[in-house]
């Protein structure tokens, strides 16, 4: 039996659309009631995420597979599966639309991708047409033609026939007209600006919303409008390359009983959809699969060549190979570049006061490092650009970037959500920005998790199967590392001990739980409680100094904080029972005797005190950088 991965068969997602019909049943789909306009055959988008049908990943969604088993897509960059393949049945005409490019969408649509797409015409009514392009020479002329209602003069209408193909780049005005069925390959984006809807009324009598200002911003007034969609590229051994752009390449594959096709798979992945014919079989080194009209599947990285037999036509798409030149072609650097090998890794540590970036080789040796203030007047994009400039200035080749940032985060979306110590960074897509600017894959996780990972792989947790990491500093954070992997939980909330309840302590900030760990054991909390007892303002360092001098108020506060952390250790040990606890952060590292006190108190609570191991972190102030770099595997 081959150890290569097999094909990933998908269950399509069907969408009701007012302009849709019932013809998608011809593909063997069980349609919901009402007009059905779209079958999302290969999709990992929030509006439609295909479920895997059979095999070792049965029941997972394609987006889950992308995040949790990225080795199946090795070489593909981005924080989301990059392509979306649909079959559309337009019983009525769709509105006239235009899509933005990546830069415009990133700036105006919350970090979204832009949208390049293409259409392969499956069927069309006699004398059918579509709209591709427009005839205005500039924005002013476009606005005037719209204001005067001169749509017939503005629209570029093209006659269509089954087998035609159209390349719809960002900035191209377009509309699928009634009586048309197409297969659409596109970037995984749903950003659309509606230009005109033929003055149709909705059920409540209102007109649909238009987006004319955005549309006029993004329309390419210099693009040449096509006059035909006839495919003129040659067919070689059953394969015709329909298009190639910076985001994807598309093939038509025709298989007949007398002419099977061998399709090489040298890409991060290949998307395949059977669009015509009686069906057939697809074989790889891992096995064989029967397919039919309406089948959609992905050939993952390393699956090997595909042998196709039977009677069928397929549309195949993929991000261009890593051998393609230039970013935007899906390439993922694999060759050595001046100054270093691609096994080097970049780590970025984003803090409220500092931004830190470093490069490490495969042995963990630091190659370069730069520390700079986080200038809150600049905003996230400008601050991150300073880090990019530093990386570029080193001239070191590297295979990817890991980022540690304060939470809360959305790991899957690549966003920092609403961090209290990073004003202005709310909902900023760190991953999209850095991937766009560096042309490398980027991984994001929270700062406590990456510090815990550093301790597991190269610090106090080295050699242990499981580790629980506490950071005690301006806050209290946690990370659970098992077999050198971060355990994030279903919602990325595993090990978030800061709000863990250990008693009924009520002096807490809004939004925090009564009795939470952070409100009683962090540096600021220790200072706040001591200041209240002493009747004057003190900082954490002074509280610890007073404790060592025998001050009774300081003793009570420190003793209370140690009790709180000991209870947190006990709670964690009851749930995950790690081999070792590791304490880091400025409070712990500057006062190692304090952690000894925590250990002493925790041994009185845990079920088996003789096996309790508590260690101080060994990676020091660079734990966040080291751990961030180790996200790149």
In the predicted model, what is the mean pLDDT of residues 350-358? Answer: 91
pLDDT above 60 (res 409) = yes
Q: Between the ranges 1-10, 233-242, 422-431, where is the mean pLDDT highest?
A: 233-242
Same domain, 515 and 444: no
DSSP string across 77-137: -SSS--EEEEEEEESSPPPEEE---HHHHHHHTTT-----EEEEEEEE-TT-EEEEEE--S
**Residue 511 near residue 468 (C-beta atoms within 8 A):** no
Told to judge if 194 belongs to the known catalytic residues of this protein, a careful annotator would answer yes
275, 283, 238: which is closest to 256 by C-alpha? 238
pLDDT reported for residue 144: 97
Q: Would 622 be classed as within a structural domain?
A: no
pLDDT above 50 (res 77) = yes
Give the CA-trace dihedral at 70, 76, 78, 81, to 10 degrees: -70
Q: How many CB atoms lie within 10 A of CB 438?
A: 20
199-240, pLDDT tens digit by residue? 888 778 888 899 999 999 999 999 999 999 999 999 999 999
- Name the residue range of residue 308's domain: 239-318
**Residue 271 near residue 85 (C-beta atoms within 8 A):** yes
pLDDT above 90 (res 320) = no
Q: Is the dihedral of CA 448, 350, 74, 187 positive or negative?
A: positive
Between residues 257 and 351, the one the model is more confident about = 257
DSSP letter, residue 621 = G
Bond before 408 cis per omega within 30 degrees: yes
Query: And the tokens for 341?
Result: 């090998």
pLDDT reported for residue 260: 96
> Which CATH number goes with the domain that contains 281?
2.60.120.10
Dist CA 159 CA 131 (whole Å) = 9
Same domain, 95 and 118: yes
* Cβ-Cβ contacts under 8 Å for 545 (sequence gap 6 or more): none
Same domain, 202 and 277: no
Tell me which of 448, 482, 514 is where a domain ends.
448
315, 311, 316: which is closest to 259 by C-alpha? 311
Angle at 447 between CA 441 and CA 450, to 5 degrees: 65
Catalytic residue among 80, 91, 169, 194: 194
pLDDT reported for residue 2: 67
Number of domains in the chain: 4
Q: How many CB atoms lie within 10 A of CB 79?
A: 25
Distances (CA, A) of 595 to 463, 491, 499, 523: 21, 30, 20, 14
pLDDT reported for residue 343: 81
142-163, pLDDT tens digit by residue? 999 999 999 999 999 999 999 9
pLDDT reported for residue 171: 96
Dist CA 71 CA 441 (whole Å) = 13
Where does 335-424 have alpha helices with state H?
380-394
* Cβ-Cβ contacts under 8 Å for 219 (sequence gap 6 or more): 98, 134, 136, 139, 142, 171, 173
Dist CA 472 CA 558 (whole Å) = 13
pLDDT above 70 (res 303) = yes
What is the pLDDT confidence band of residue 385, given thresholds at 50, 70 and 90? very high
Same domain, 273 and 196: no
Angle at 493 between CA 489 and CA 498, to 5 degrees: 140
Q: Would 336 be classed as within a structural domain?
A: no
In the predicted model, what is the mean pLDDT of residues 482-486? Answer: 91
Same domain, 479 and 608: yes
In the predicted model, what is the mean pLDDT of residues 602-615? Answer: 95
What is the pLDDT confidence band of residue 341, given thresholds at 50, 70 and 90? very low
Q: Would 384 be classed as within a structural domain?
A: yes
Same domain, 36 and 159: yes
What integer best gives the mean pLDDT of the chain?
A: 91
Please report, for the chain, how many H helices and E strands are present, in that order.
15, 35
Same domain, 15 and 49: yes
Q: Would 352 be classed as within a structural domain?
A: yes
Tell me which of 392, 418, 448 is where a domain ends.
448
pLDDT above 90 (res 259) = yes
User: Can you give the pTM of this predicted structure?
Assistant: 0.59
pLDDT reported for residue 528: 95
Q: Would 72 be classed as within a structural domain?
A: yes
Dist CA 43 CA 53 (whole Å) = 14
Dist CA 207 CA 199 (whole Å) = 7
pLDDT reported for residue 330: 29
Query: And the tokens for 533?
Result: 């007892």
Dist CA 467 CA 452 (whole Å) = 8
Residues paired with residue 500 on neighbouring β-strands, in sequence order:
none
pLDDT above 60 (res 332) = no
> Which CATH number goes with the domain that contains 566?
3.30.420.40
Dist CA 456 CA 469 (whole Å) = 9
**Phi then psi dihedrals of residue 153, to 5 deg:** -75, -30
**Phi then psi dihedrals of residue 568, to 5 deg:** -65, -45
pLDDT reported for residue 340: 40
Residue 309 CA from chain centroid, whole number:
36
Q: Would 626 be classed as within a structural domain?
A: no
Same domain, 555 and 602: yes
Same domain, 274 and 127: no
pLDDT above 70 (res 269) = yes
Same domain, 30 and 99: yes
pLDDT reported for residue 70: 85
pLDDT above 90 (res 481) = yes
Dist CA 404 CA 349 (whole Å) = 5
What is the SS3 assignment for 496? coil
pLDDT above 90 (res 356) = yes
Tell me which of 422, 448, 474 is where a domain ends.
448
What is the pLDDT confidence band of residue 410, given thresholds at 50, 70 and 90? confident
263, 278, 335: which is closest to 310 by C-alpha? 278
What is the pLDDT confidence band of residue 324, given thresholds at 50, 70 and 90? very low
The tokens 């400025």 sit on which residue?
Answer: 586
Q: Would 578 be classed as within a structural domain?
A: yes
In the predicted model, what is the mean pLDDT of residues 556-578? Answer: 97
pLDDT above 80 (res 532) = yes
**Residue 6 near residue 286 (C-beta atoms within 8 A):** yes
What is the pLDDT confidence band of residue 399, given thresholds at 50, 70 and 90? confident
pLDDT reported for residue 529: 96
pLDDT reported for residue 334: 33
Q: Would 293 be classed as within a structural domain?
A: yes
In the predicted model, what is the mean pLDDT of residues 246-272? Answer: 94
Q: What interhelical angle do 552-575 and 592-602 show, nearest 10? A: 60
SS3 string of 572-620? HHHHCCCCEEEEECHHHHHCHHHHHHHHHHHCCCCCCHHHCCEEECCCH
What is the pLDDT confidence band of residue 342, given thresholds at 50, 70 and 90? low
Same domain, 495 and 567: yes
> What proportion of the chain, given as a percentage, has pLDDT over 70?
95
> What proportion of the chain, given as a percentage, has pLDDT over 90?
73
Q: How many CB atoms lie within 10 A of CB 126?
A: 6
Same domain, 421 and 473: no
411, 350, 422: which is closest to 379 by C-alpha? 422
């Amino acid at each position: 039996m081959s150890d290569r991965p097999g094909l990933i068969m998908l269950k399509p997602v069907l969408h009701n659309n007012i302009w849709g019909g019932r013809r998608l049943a011809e593909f063997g789909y069980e349609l919901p009631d009402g007009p059905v306009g779209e079958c999302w055959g290969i999709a990992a988008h929030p509006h439609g995420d295909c479920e895997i049908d059979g095999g070792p990943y049965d029941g997972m969604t394609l987006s889950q597979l992308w995040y949790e088993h990225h080795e199946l897509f090795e070489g593909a960059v981005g924080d989301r599966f990059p392509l979306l393949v649909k079959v559309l049945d337009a019983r009525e005409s769709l509105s006239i639309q235009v899509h933005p490019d990546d830069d415009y969408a990133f700036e105006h649509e919350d970090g979204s991708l832009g949208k390049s797409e293409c259409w392969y015409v499956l069927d069309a009514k006699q004398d059918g047409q579509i709209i591709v392009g427009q005839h205005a020479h500039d924005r002013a002329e476009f606005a005037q033609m719209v204001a005067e209602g001169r749509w017939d003069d503005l629209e570029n209408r093209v006659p269509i026939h089954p087998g035609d193909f159209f390349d719809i780049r960002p900035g191209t005005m377009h509309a699928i007209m009634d009586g048309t069925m197409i297969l659409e390959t596109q970037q995984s984006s749903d950003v659309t600006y509606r230009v005109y809807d033929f003055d149709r009324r909705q059920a409540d009598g209102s007109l649909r919303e238009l987006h004319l200002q955005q549309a006029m911003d993004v329309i390419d007034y210099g693009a040449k409008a096509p006059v035909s969609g006839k495919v003129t590229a040659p067919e070689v051994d059953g394969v015709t390359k329909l298009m190639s752009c910076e985001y994807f390449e598309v093939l038509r594959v025709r298989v007949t009983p007398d002419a099977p096709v061998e399709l090489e798979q040298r890409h991060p992945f290949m998307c395949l959809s059977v669009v015509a014919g009686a069906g057939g079989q697809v074989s790889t080194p891992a096995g064989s699969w029967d397919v039919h009209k309406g089948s959609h599947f992905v050939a993952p990285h390393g699956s090997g060549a595909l042998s196709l037999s039977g009677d069928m036509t397929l549309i195949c798409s993929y991000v261009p190979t890593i051998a393609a030149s230039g970013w935007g072609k899906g390439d993922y650097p694999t060759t050595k570049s001046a100054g270093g090998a691609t096994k080097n890794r970049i780590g970025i540590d984003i803090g409220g006061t500092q931004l830190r970036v470093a490069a490490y080789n495969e042995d963990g040796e630091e190659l370069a490092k730069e520390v700079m203030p986080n200038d809150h007047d600049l905003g996230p994009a400008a601050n991150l650009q300073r880090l990019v400039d530093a990386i570029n200035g080193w001239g070191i080749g590297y295979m990817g970037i890991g980022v540690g940032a304060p939470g809360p985060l959305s790991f899957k979306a690549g966003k920092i959500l609403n961090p209290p110590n990073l004003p202005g960074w709310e909902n900023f897509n760190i991953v999209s920005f850095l991937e766009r600017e560096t042309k490398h894959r980027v991984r994001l996780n929270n700062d406590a998790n990456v510090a815990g990972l550093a301790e597991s792989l190269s610090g106090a947790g080295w050699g242990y199967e499981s580790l629980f990491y506490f950071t005690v500093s301006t806050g209290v954070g946690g990370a659970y590392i098992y077999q050198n992997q971060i355990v994030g939980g279903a919602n990325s909330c595993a090990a978030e001990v800061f709000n863990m309840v250990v008693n009924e302590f009520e002096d807490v900030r809004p939004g925090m739980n009564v009795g939470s760990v952070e409100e009683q054991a962090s540096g600021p909390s220790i200072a706040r409680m001591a200041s209240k007892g002493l009747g004057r303002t003190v900082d954490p360092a002074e509280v610890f100094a007073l404790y060592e001098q025998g001050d009774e108020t300081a003793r009570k506060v420190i003793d209370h904080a140690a009790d709180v952390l000991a209870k947190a250790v006990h709670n964690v040990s009851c749930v995950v029972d790690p081999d070792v606890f590791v304490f880091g952060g400025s409070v712990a590292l500057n006062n190692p005797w304090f952690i000894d006190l925590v250990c002493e108190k925790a041994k009185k609570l845990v079920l088996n005190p003789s096996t309790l191991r508590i260690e101080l972190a060994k990676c020091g102030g660079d734990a966040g950088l080291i751990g961030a770099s180790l996200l790149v595997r």
